[in-house]
Amino acid sequence: MTEPDTGSGGRLPHTARIPYGGDYCPEQWPRDVWDEDHRLFTQAGVDTLTVGVFIWSLTQPDESVYDFSVLDGILDRAAAEGRQVCLATGTAALPPWLAKKYPEVNRTDFEGRRHRHGQRHNFCPSSPEYRRSAMAMAGRLAERYAEHPALLAWHINNEYGGACYCDLCADAFRRWLRERHGTLDALNGAWWTTFWSHRYTDWDQIEPPSALTEHWRGPDHTAFQGVTLDYRRFMTDALLGCFVGEKKAIRAHDADTPVTTNLMGTYRPLDYHRWAPHLDFASWDNYPPLDAPPTRPAFAHDLMRGLKGGAPFWLMEQTPSTTACRDVNPLRRPGELRLATWQAIAHGADAALYFQMRASRGACEKYHGAVIGHAGRADTRVFREVAALGRELSELGAATLGARTPARTALLFDWDSWWALEISDGPSRLVRYQDVVHAYYRAAREAGADVDVVGVTADLTPYDVVLAPVLHLVRGDLAKRLEAVARRGGTVLATFLTARCDEHDRAFLADVPGPLAPLMGIRVDEWDARHDHVEQPVLIGEFATSARLVFEIVQLRGAEPIAIYGADFYAGTPAVTRHPFGAGQAWYVATALDQPGVDHVVRRVLARHDLIGPYAGHPAVESATRVTADGTRFLFLLNHVPESVRMPAHAAATDLLTGKRVEQGDVLALDPLGVAVLRLQ
Ligand code: GLA
Ligand code: ZN
């Protein structure tokens, strides 16, 4: 892997307003449709087009034939219309000739089946033929378009993901392991291979963990967590190697146009923190799970913003109306698109792009929502909403570009812990990393705190509060850095199943919670896991709540009890504790509290640092802050319910969207699903 070529803050494309538009595939259409497209784009305020994402079979119809005539036309036309292009390298879907000629480029799945040509995201990341072909394409595109007036940014590949288990990957894995572990002794120790007679005496004996080897019942059931963790890290790096290779090919011809790839938020297979230093700027595709509370997409926005040290990111895709890939694909209600877009901007997005600009006529995404539907009309509800938002964003201009989130609360998010927790046999398969982490995030956000979602190596000095829910693996100097947060007066919160294992998923040979035990001032010897219908009453002083799934039995070693269990043989023992440490505090939550319990605990923690927001009493209203380099402070207020909300303004401000000024105490009214962008004075 080559060294990343950017600092942690990265570099965003320079624009005069929030780029607005999205994925556009004119290669599917004759030229008279392009004319119509551009007419409608102008009407909708669209200034940015992501092109070439799945164009490889046209740009290279055979091994020795490159044909950029269609792409030339697309870019020239965009430039002529005054639009800018986010140019994809198009290497995420193999052209059929490549898959046929070099079968090694096709993936081998978890069950060991070598695939043939089909679908997309279908390449083996370790295949030299794939890498050579993809880099050649990226290089040729950069050579051709580096100076093109429409070029705004590079978009490498598309939604990198999945995994391959072929022999080339097995070899690459063994090389990766040598580099990571150095010796077989070290590897045997890390994976604890004396268990079940697994001691390796030659690197060649090591197999990728799959249905044919260590796994049963699928990717989460493994006999050896060590090898499975290392394979996920390796696959992250293998796919990242493809990205880095293409970026290098681009950089040979284009020294400075910012480069990204579209990530997927909380996407489990890839550890995006390993990717972050290699991206010039982060971008991601927001397709929230159905019926998810608004804090779910918000969480992913904050995670993506955390990748580049808090720098703004791009919303690379969202649907203007409906998805197609789910069993059931509900429509975004009137106003929901606008609200979701402002939510992204509130959390740090400096672009608002769609998938897709014109609906595909055939194949599996023909029913996916689009700005322009099959009938090509501008008088549809969706087009009107897109166009109204386009006008609003163009009126906003550059006001929010580059603005940062002044969060004093950090939530640690760690792919290693996510993987380790969910591939663990015991104590419970029902504990899902995202659910627990989201519960804490939600509590903080609904209390009005801005939250940075950051990796475990992030600088913790800017934060008053650090939340570390189910941080299963603790590595490096993290325990010391968390102690430092508390020592200087901050608050650290950890939960059940935090700090259980080292980076190889080996249990710490110490009291639970391992290296965090001194900070937490507790000791845990036993834990009980029960089915999710078993509800354990928990009393937090007068406040009665409940907990499920896992109940750790806590002994106090300096901490004081804040909550106690209400039933079973551990009734009366601590369920939540607080430990004074230096000038600060460490909180430990020993069980999966239900949301009201998490809310209660988190609000007490935030209150200690005066971090409860001014609108925390309005549960439907989300607030988020961004501050520009010159100190201008914006407070975004997002009403997530289809009823209007009225509340007293906490300070004098001007709403950028209406131009209206409010004084402190004036009634601030938000329409159903309405938004205000308050510039505070
Ligand atoms: C992803 C892809 C797009 C498209 C959309 C559909 O985000 O990147 O190419 O398939 O999903 O929702
Ligand atoms: Zn492979």
**Which residue type is seen at 671?**
D
Residue 112 counted as domain residue: yes
Task: Find, among 595, 529, 521, the residue nearest to 556 by Cα.
Answer: 521
Q: Is 622 a catalytic residue?
A: no
Residue 558 zone, left/alpha/beta (φ > 0; ψ -120 to 50; rest): left
Residue with tokens 């402002």: 342
- What residues pair up with 473 in beta bridges, in sequence order? 501
Residue 402 counted as domain residue: no
On whether the CB atoms of residues 421 and 497 are closer than 8 A, the answer is yes
pLDDT number for residue 176: 99
Closest ligand to C-alpha of residue 168 is 2
* pLDDT at 231 > cutoff 90: yes
Among 214, 246, 317, 483, the active-site one is: 317
Residue 209 tokens read as 């963990």
pTM above threshold 0.85: yes
The Å distance, Cα 25 to ligand 1 centre, comes to 13
What is the chain's mean pLDDT, rounded?
Answer: 97
Closest ligand to C-alpha of residue 316 is 1
Alpha helices in 327-477 (DSSP H): 336-346, 381-396, 415-422, 433-446
Beta strands in 459-535 (DSSP E): 465-468, 491-495, 522-529
Last residue of one domain, picked from the residues 208, 227, 246: 227
Shared domain check, 509 and 441: yes
Task: Find, among 499, 678, 672, 528, the residue nearest to 586 by Cα.
Answer: 499
Residue 84: count other Cβ atoms within 10 Å of its Cβ: 19
Q: Residue 267's domain is classified under what CATH number?
A: 3.20.20.80
- What residues pair up with 123 in beta bridges, in sequence order? 106
Q: Whose CA is nearest to atom 5 of ligand 1?
A: 355
Dmax of the chain from CA atoms?
Answer: 76
On whether the CB atoms of residues 347 and 302 are closer than 8 A, the answer is yes
* pLDDT at 445 > cutoff 90: yes
The Å distance, Cα 318 to ligand 1 centre, comes to 8
Alpha helices in 255-398 (DSSP H): 272-275, 295-307, 336-346, 381-396
Residue range(s) defining the domain that contains residue 378: 20-163+237-396
pLDDT number for residue 416: 98
β-pairing, 536-540 vs 543-556, is antiparallel
On whether the CB atoms of residues 92 and 159 are closer than 8 A, the answer is yes
Res. 116 pLDDT band, cuts 50 70 90? very high
Look at the alpha carbons of 82, 88, 89, 90 in this order and tell me if their dihedral is positive or negative: negative
Shared domain check, 272 and 210: no
On whether the CB atoms of residues 317 and 23 are closer than 8 A, the answer is yes
502-523 burial by CB neighbour count: b if 16+ within 10 A, else e? bebbbebeeebbbbbbbbbbbb
On whether the CB atoms of residues 427 and 455 are closer than 8 A, the answer is no
Among 36, 104, 129, 159, the active-site one is: 159
Residue 3 counted as domain residue: no
On whether the CB atoms of residues 440 and 417 are closer than 8 A, the answer is no
Taking only the tens place, the pLDDT of each residue in 630-663 is 999 999 999 999 999 999 999 999 999 999 999 9
* pLDDT at 442 > cutoff 90: yes
Last residue of one domain, picked from the residues 343, 371, 396: 396
What percent of the chain is predicted at pLDDT more than 70? 99
CA distance 356 to 371: 7
On whether the CB atoms of residues 371 and 22 are closer than 8 A, the answer is yes
Res. 211 pLDDT band, cuts 50 70 90? very high
β-pairing, 409-412 vs 349-354, is unpaired
**Which residue type is seen at 59?**
T
The Å distance, Cα 420 to ligand 1 centre, comes to 28
Write out the H or E segment, with its range, that includes residue 262: strand 262-263
Residue 15 counted as domain residue: no
pLDDT number for residue 3: 40
Residue 450 counted as domain residue: yes
Shared domain check, 576 and 430: yes
pLDDT number for residue 5: 42
Residue 403 counted as domain residue: no
Shared domain check, 521 and 659: no
How many structural domains does the chain have? 4
Q: Whose CA is nearest to atom 7 of ligand 1?
A: 285
Residue 314 counted as domain residue: yes
Task: Find, among 235, 317, 314, 311, the residue nearest to 275 by Cα.
Answer: 235
On whether the CB atoms of residues 193 and 199 are closer than 8 A, the answer is yes
Res. 6 pLDDT band, cuts 50 70 90? very low
CA distance 141 to 547: 55
Res. 9 pLDDT band, cuts 50 70 90? low
* pLDDT at 375 > cutoff 90: yes
Is residue 192 classed exposed, middle or buried when 0-12, 13-18 and 19+ CB atoms within 10 A define those classes? Answer: middle
Shared domain check, 511 and 425: yes
CA distance 463 to 61: 53
Task: Find, among 141, 123, 44, 131, the residue nearest to 86 by Cα.
Answer: 141
What percent of the chain is predicted at pLDDT more than 90? 98
Residue 80 tokens read as 């002529």
619-639 burial by CB neighbour count: b if 16+ within 10 A, else e? ebbbbbbbebeeeebbbbbbb
pLDDT number for residue 290: 84
Q: Residue 659's domain is classified under what CATH number?
A: 2.60.40.1180
* 3-class DSSP string for 625-680: EEECCCCCEEEEEEECCCCCEEEECCCCEEECCCCCEECCCCEEEECCCCEEEEEE
* pLDDT at 250 > cutoff 80: yes
Res. 1 pLDDT band, cuts 50 70 90? very low
Shared domain check, 267 and 125: yes
Task: Find, among 477, 495, 480, the residue nearest to 437 by Cα.
Answer: 495
Q: Which CA distances in Å does 231 have to 11, 209, 222?
A: 31, 7, 12
Closest ligand to C-alpha of residue 162 is 2
β-pairing, 451-454 vs 591-593, is unpaired
Report the chain's C-alpha Rg in angstroms.
Answer: 26
Q: What is the DSSP letter of 501?
A: B
Shared domain check, 421 and 373: no
Shared domain check, 669 and 546: no
CA distance 348 to 406: 11
**Coil, strand, or helix at residue 203?**
helix
What dihedral do alpha carbons 420, 422, 426, 432 form, nearest 10°?
130
Taking only the tens place, the pLDDT of each residue in 600-613 is 999 999 999 999 99
CA distance 12 to 260: 9
Q: Which residues contact 47 (CB under 8 A, 6 or more apart)?
A: 17, 19, 20, 21, 82, 83, 84
Residue 446 tokens read as 């609904």
On whether the CB atoms of residues 94 and 123 are closer than 8 A, the answer is yes
Taking only the tens place, the pLDDT of each residue in 414-427 is 999 999 999 999 99
| Phi and psi at residue 554, to the nearest 5° | -100, 135
Supply the angle between the helices 225-251 and 415-422 in degrees, to the nearest 10: 150
Residue with tokens 């005496």: 201
Alpha helices in 122-271 (DSSP H): 128-145, 167-181, 184-191, 225-251
Residue 209 counted as domain residue: yes
Q: Is 159 a catalytic residue?
A: yes
The Å distance, Cα 115 to ligand 2 centre, comes to 11
* pLDDT at 8 > cutoff 60: no
CA distance 234 to 270: 10
Shared domain check, 245 and 387: yes
Q: Residue 451's domain is classified under what CATH number?
A: 3.40.50.880
On whether the CB atoms of residues 335 and 642 are closer than 8 A, the answer is yes
Pocket of ligand 1 (CB under 6 A): 158-159, 262, 285, 287, 317, 323, 325, 355, 365, 368
Res. 410 pLDDT band, cuts 50 70 90? very high
Taking only the tens place, the pLDDT of each residue in 33-56 is 999 999 999 999 999 999 999 999
Of the two residues 675 and 5, the one the predictor is more confident about is 675
The Å distance, Cα 106 to ligand 2 centre, comes to 7
Half-sphere exposure (Cβ direction) of 625: Cα atoms closer than 13 Å: 20
Shared domain check, 470 and 423: yes
Shared domain check, 216 and 128: no
Last residue of one domain, picked from the residues 344, 372, 396: 396
Q: Whose CA is nearest to atom 3 of ligand 1?
A: 355
Shared domain check, 243 and 186: no
Indicate the top mutation candidate among 365, 366, 367, 371 to test ligand 1's pocket, ranked by most ligand atoms within 8 A of CB: 365
Residues whose CB is under 5 A from ligand 2 (ion)? 124, 126, 164, 166, 168-169
Q: Whose CA is nearest to atom 12 of ligand 1?
A: 323
